Amino acid sequence: MKQSVYLETTIPSYATGRPSKDIIQLAHQSITRQWWDTMRHEYDLYTSIYTENECKKGDFEAAQKRLDFIEGIPLLPLTNDVYSLAKIYMDILPIPSDSKNDTVHLAICVINQIDYLLTRNCKHLGPLTMRKVQSYNEKSGLFSPVLATPEAFFYI
């Protein structure tokens, strides 16, 4: 049985974006595309309507590329359990309210027991945040996904 990976919005954004002039971001774009080209078939991929809606924002042509990227990937349901858990995460994590979608992505992974949350967003969903999530989840008897950037998969 394949392990599961949830794609949040930064993955299609990096994979389909115009090449950055910033060398570090350009490397992240390249690695994201390399993961997509070489490793995606090794996992069961999932995303959500939240990712889809975020992909629709901005420049029409760029948005269409992001939407094409995630086309055909199953959308996980948004349930009351997801929203309730996302609210708890908003209360216990240092995530600004304008980035609340990050807690929804995380809650979707927890409720659906997705093995990996694949992201480029380490600002709000970084290692220190995930330690708090894991501590809360452990105390509450909840599953904890592994937060990972595409680079991490090359070392598994």
Per-residue pLDDT at 156 exceeds 70: no
pLDDT at residue 128 in the model: 82
pLDDT band for position 130 (cuts 50, 70, 90): confident
User: Which residue range(s) make up the domain with 120?
Assistant: 4-153
Query: pLDDT category, 100, cuts 50, 70, 90?
Result: confident
Reply yes or no on whether the pLDDT at 124 is more than 80: no
pLDDT tens digits, residue range 112-121? 999 999 999 8
Alpha carbon separation from 118 to 6, 90, 140 (Å, rounded): 6, 20, 23
* Sequence-distant (≥ 6) Cβ neighbours of residue 21 within 8 angstroms: none
The closest alpha carbon to 12, from 67, 84, 74, belongs to 67
Those residues with Cβ within 8 angstroms of residue 15's Cβ, 6 or more apart along the chain or in another chain = 29, 32, 33, 36, 69
pTM as predicted: 0.94
- At 65 the pLDDT is 97
Give the 3-state secondary structure of residue 4: strand
Q: Measuring CA to CA, which residue among 85, 108, 105, 101 is closest to residue 8?
A: 105
User: Strand 146-148's sheet: what is its strand order?
Assistant: 75-76, 44-48, 4-7, 116-118, 146-148
The number of folded domains in the chain is 1
Domain CATH code at residue 20: 3.40.50.1010
**pLDDT recorded at residue 67:** 97
Distance CA 44, CA 23 (A): 31
Alpha helix positions (H), 40-79: 49-55, 60-70
pLDDT (tens digit, 9 = 90+) per residue, 4-55? Answer: 999 999 999 999 999 999 999 999 999 999 999 999 999 999 999 999 999 9
The pLDDT value given to residue 95? 84
C-alpha neighbours within 13 Å on the C-beta side of residue 51? 31
